[in-house]
Amino acid sequence: MSSEAMDPALARPHVGPAASPAHVVQGLRATSQGDLVELLSPEGVLTQHPDYPIEVTADLLKGLYRDMVLVRRIDREANALQRQGQLSIWVPLLGQEAAQIGAGRAMAPQDMAFPSYREHGVAWCRDIDPTELLGIFRGTDQTGWNPKEKRFHAYTIVIGNQVLNATGYAMGQKFDGVIGRAGGAESPEGAPDAGGPESVDEATIVFFGDGATSQGDVHEGMVFAAAYDAPIVFYCQNNQWAISEPVERQTRVPLFHRSRGYGFPGIRVDGNDVLACLAVTRWALDECRSGNGPVLIEAFTYRMDAHTTSDDPTRYRLADETEAWKLLDPIERVRVHLVRGGLADQAFFDGVDAESAELAARFRAFCVAMPKPEISRIFDHVYTDPHAQVERQRAEFTEYLAGFDDVDAESAGVSGAGH
């Protein structure tokens, strides 16, 4: 078949093993084809989409704007704290605020989320105080919140692994019969009709990146989710890069087309449009709660900063590309819409800025005052009960530390065995 006769979305970008910048841009275009659900254009013009209607009020827009400004501020503050030696590493979300806030605000309290490591905006929507993120990045804690209580799982660094966990969780929701009840024969008394965040039914949403789609775990998760009609939204933030690997190295088709192969719907949404992300994710979660899952959402967005604070993106991508994406900024388009429509006055914007400054100050003060953890904690919680091997390692480590003049093993807490 000649490439002219092919579905243009299936045309192969000619990307060799060492892609030049021109190839990168060409490849990006090749995987950009396909319908993009967009409600709020980069110029701030609002249109409804027939399949994903949403009631848009000034309060809704102002709330989403506030969320995005505050999480961006936290993100920039954390980045600076890492540069000042207060955090070991930080994973920036800059540019992905709309993709995360739209999805996070679409969730109902009873829904369950499985993040990767970049979902600080979704954490915010799950009522996790930003200071609770700090322990992970300061290297003092595994997670700062109770995943069961917040319905937001621990961050997962192993790429794609959370997709399996989330699929298993969603299969459990199906086996437990907590989907498709509202409005049906088994509807609890007084329950609203199926769907809608007011529903008593549950769904799962899992977050992963474009690069993660190359992992076996993601494939296996989608196969099982389809086979069991599991109530799960696969939410792929395609931020165009997996560290230094561009998305066209991961796929020959737009990522949302992948769902066809598993047998469930796939939607590509403008990931820099918070309203579109909200409307599409609401729809997808409703489908899952009503028993019509799974659904794949590809939020087409861009990672504006480095992969992490350990990365230097100038070594593998063009400044032109980043400059072009600046024009699609997720916060700016909401601000423009609010201003042009006379929906928010200067006092509102000043208020959000003041709140943002206060939050950043509290976040910073909390971080620099965090106590040093006792070194012995690395031996705690390995096993529930005392374990001979762990205790032997604890003793060896205590002896090792005792060999240094400037380490007081007692105050480091290593000698206190028996947890």
Ligand X SMILES: Cc1ncc(C[n+]2csc(CCOP(=O)(O)OP(=O)(O)O)c2C)c(N)n1
Hey, which residues are catalytic here? 303, 307, 316
**3-state SS string for 177-203:** CCCCCCCCCCCCCCCCCCCCCCCCCCC
**Nearest by Cα to 280 from 62, 67, 109, 53:** 53
At its nearest, how many Å lie between Mg ion and the CB of residue 238?
Answer: 7
Which residues, in sequence order, are CB contacts of 235 under 8 Å at separation 6+? 103, 205, 206, 207, 208, 281, 297, 299
CB atoms within 10 A of CB 334: 26
Write b or e for each residue in 93-128: b if 16 or more Cβ atoms lie within 10 A of its Cβ, otherwise e: bbbbbbbbbbbbbbbbeebbbbbbbbbbbbbbbbeb
The residue with its CB nearest to Mg ion is 209
For residues 296 and 265, the answer to whether their CB atoms sit within 8 Å is yes
| Residue 212 interaction partner, one of ligand X, Mg ion, none, beta carbon < 5-8 Å per kind | ligand X
The verdict on 242 binding ligand X (CB under 6 A) reads yes
The verdict on 159 binding ligand X (CB under 6 A) reads yes
One-letter amino acid of 49:
H
- From the number of C-beta atoms within 10 Å of its C-beta (0-12, 13-18, 19+), residue 318 rates as middle
CA distance 349 to 369: 30
The verdict on 45 binding ligand X (CB under 6 A) reads no
User: Among residues 137 and 300, whose Cβ is nearest to Mg ion?
Assistant: 300
Helix axes 161-176 and 216-227, enclosed angle (nearest 10): 10
Q: Out of 249, 303, 333, 335, which residue is the one contacting ligand X (CB under 6 A)? A: 303
Q: Out of 119, 210, 217, 273, which residue is the one contacting Mg ion (CB under 5 A)? A: 210
| Residue 31 interaction partner, one of ligand X, Mg ion, none, beta carbon < 5-8 Å per kind | none
User: Among residues 231 and 246, whose Cβ is nearest to Mg ion?
Assistant: 246
Q: Out of 6, 45, 58, 158, which residue is the one contacting ligand X (CB under 6 A)? A: 158
The residue with its CB nearest to ligand X is 209
Site stretch for ligand X (CB under 6 A), options 126-134, 164-172, 237-245, 316-324: 237-245
Helix axes 58-83 and 274-289, enclosed angle (nearest 10): 100
User: Among residues 167 and 238, whose Cβ is nearest to Mg ion?
Assistant: 238
Q: How many residues bind ligand X (CB under 6 A)?
A: 15
At its nearest, how many Å lie between Mg ion and the CB of residue 242?
Answer: 5
For residues 155 and 89, the answer to whether their CB atoms sit within 8 Å is no
For residue 84, what are the CA distances in angstroms to 94, 137, 400?
A: 19, 13, 30
The verdict on 118 binding ligand X (CB under 6 A) reads yes
The verdict on 92 binding Mg ion (CB under 5 A) reads no
| Residue 289 interaction partner, one of ligand X, Mg ion, none, beta carbon < 5-8 Å per kind | none
Task: Round to the nearest angstrom and report the end-to-end CA distance of the chain.
Answer: 66
| Residues of this chain, 187-206, that bind Mg ion according to CB under 5 A | none
At its nearest, how many Å lie between ligand X and the CB of residue 214?
Answer: 8
Distance of CA 130 to the CA centre of its chain: 14
Give 11's DSSP letter: P
The verdict on 294 binding Mg ion (CB under 5 A) reads no
**The two structure tokens encoding residue 293:** 């899952």
At its nearest, how many Å lie between ligand X and the CB of residue 309?
Answer: 13
Place of tokens 């423009």: 336
CA distance 256 to 272: 16
| Residue 70 interaction partner, one of Mg ion, ligand X, none, beta carbon < 5-8 Å per kind | none
Place of tokens 């609890």: 188
List phi, psi (to 5°) of 268.
-105, 125
User: Among residues 209 and 294, whose Cβ is nearest to ligand X?
Assistant: 209
| Residues of this chain, 242-281, that bind Mg ion according to CB under 5 A | 242
CA distance 333 to 105: 18
Q: Out of 79, 96, 156, 239, which residue is the one contacting Mg ion (CB under 5 A)? A: 239
Q: Out of 153, 307, 335, 337, which residue is the one contacting ligand X (CB under 6 A)? A: 307
- In the sheet with 232-238, reading across from the earlier edge strand, the strands are 112-114, 204-209, 232-238, 295-300, 266-270
| Residue 69 interaction partner, one of ligand X, Mg ion, none, beta carbon < 5-8 Å per kind | none
| Residue 306 interaction partner, one of ligand X, Mg ion, none, beta carbon < 5-8 Å per kind | none
| Residue 45 interaction partner, one of ligand X, Mg ion, none, beta carbon < 5-8 Å per kind | none
The verdict on 216 binding ligand X (CB under 6 A) reads no
User: Among residues 321 and 374, whose Cβ is nearest to ligand X?
Assistant: 321
User: Among residues 101 and 242, whose Cβ is nearest to Mg ion?
Assistant: 242
For residues 120 and 133, the answer to whether their CB atoms sit within 8 Å is yes
The verdict on 239 binding ligand X (CB under 6 A) reads yes
Using CB under 6 A, list all residues that contact ligand X: 118, 157-159, 208-212, 239, 241-243, 303, 307
Using CB under 5 A, list all residues that contact Mg ion: 209-211, 239, 242
